[in-house]
Structure 1
Amino acid sequence: MEIKNSRILITGGATGMGYEMAKIFKDRGAEVLICGRTEKTVNEAAQELDILGFTADVSNEHDVENLFKYVEEKWGGLDVLINNAGVGYFSELASTTTADFTRVWDINVKGAFMVGREASKIFIRQNRGNIINIGSTASLYGFANGSAYVASKFALKGLTECWRAELRKYNVRVMQINPSEVVTDFGEKSGYGSDKNGKKLTAAEIAHVSLSMLTMDDIGFITDATVWATNP
Structure 2
Amino acid sequence: MSRILRVLVAAVALATLLAPTATADDSARRSHHARVVPADHVAGSSGGRIVGDWFFESLSLPASQSPFAGAANLCLDVGRHDRVLSPVGGVQGPDGLIEMSCTVHVGRPVVLVMANADCSSAEEPPFYGGTAQEQRRCVVSVLNDLADVRSIDVSVDGGPATDIHRPRFFEVSSQRHVVLPEDAVFGAKPGPATYVAAAWMAQVKGLKRGTHTVEAVTTLNDGTVYRFVVHLTVVTGKPSRQG
- Normalised by the length of structure 2, the TM-score is 0.28
Which of 1 and 2 has higher RCO (CA within 8 Å, sep 6+)? 2
Considering fraction of residues, name the structure with more helix.
1
Considering fraction of residues, name the structure with more strand.
2
